[in-house]
Structure 1
Amino acid sequence: MSEAWRQLGAARAGGILLIADHASAFVPADIDLGIDPALLREHIAIDIGVAEVAALLVESGAVDAAILGGVSRLVVDCNREEDAPGVLPIASDGHAVPGNALGDVGREARLARFFRPYHDHIAATIAAHRPAMILSLHSFTPALAAHPEQARPWHVGVLYNEDDRLAAAAIAALAAEGLNVGDQLPYSGKLLNATMNRHAEGNGIPYVGIEMRQDLVRDAAGQALFAERLARMCKKVTLNIGE
């Protein structure tokens, strides 16, 4: 294990690997973000419900292993390119993050400590145990404070970029669960897909990006229900691999 990542289960060649960039709200004691600690319980700091759903999917055997980001997305956003301004966010949904106004030395130290070890572990895992499919798991807030006029009615979103081999099957499987499914919503994988671009598309591995609406996975009952839905989705989607 590492402070940069946490792994559940054991990766298996030909299996399903789950990757969750924003599954933790942890901020190391030696990092001061300069924010109200209460914000660490909000969507700007963590993808609410993701760690719990990932654990249930591993426990049930629906996925073989899950690699979870070890620190809050406010410490470093691992679903960005390394040189992207937002990799160390100085603001999120109307909240300033003054502790991330770092110079080149501080930025480099943060990336070397968290960002690179996280991605290095994913790369090494894939190289050693190439999965048949990668499931990228995130969650989204029902409403952005900065844009309250923008409704987000979808229960779940399916995201992808150039590789859309599994997208249609995932959308169909989730719609069959009675869910309102957003195709490239609440945002498009063609705009924000850094981890999957690097590790899935970069290796030619089929994948699907899933965004769960956070009010549906805030409690144990909702998390269990979504884990069951995603397990059924994975079973259906893997039938399309190799077609």
Structure 2
Amino acid sequence: MGSQVAVVTGASSGIGLGLTRALLERGFSVVGTARQTSREPSLVPTEQLALVDGDVGDKATARKVFEVAESRFGQVDLLINNAGLFIAKPFTDYDESDFAQLVSTNIAGFFHMSQQALRWMVPRKAGHIVNIGTSLVGQPISGVSGALAILTKGGLETATRALSIEYAGQGIRVNTVAAGAIDTPMHSQDKHPFLRTMSPMHRVGTVAEMVDAVLYLHGATYVSGEVLHVDGGAHAGKW
């Protein structure tokens, strides 16, 4: 999988940072983007890595990211829509600000980045888009109130299936990794005892396990329209 070019959103921390490092180690060139990617000390621009600061919910960010990809690397083989927001609260407690933030990051970010990527991939008749979702879409969990956030993430799964069919004839695949509770800076250590109850395996997943799932999907060239759950079996049902 060397000599390929990937775009990773939310690249400055957690899963996005892990993906960026793993892709670089495997010979990819990477354009990483987040609001403050350039401030992440472990990400230093090189001939193989370009960084773009910006809000994925802003169309201008997507344009800039792919302009950089064109000028630096000349192609895009893989887009990972990792940037995401999850606001957990009772449904009637959500306000307009919560709604705007969730739609901007989870929906508009996916839309703008994927649209730009497809405009690159279609002429080449090759490419792969991987979205990072949540297993709560298919299996809500008592004690985790987040219906509005789940609504936006559910859209990624439906779009994954629709786009995989729409673009299959043009050599482009679209998949989603539905994550369970993953050990990232998003979750403080004091929350881990509860997070472990969210899976029948009674543990929290690792960034490395998410990376493995994305790399599997990228190498599995006959897999498209798939929602791959990395959640310790939580999606399987009641436990």
Tell me, yes or no, whether TM beats 0.5. Answer: no
Q: By percentage of residues, which structure has more helix?
A: 2
- TM-score when normalising by structure 1: 0.39
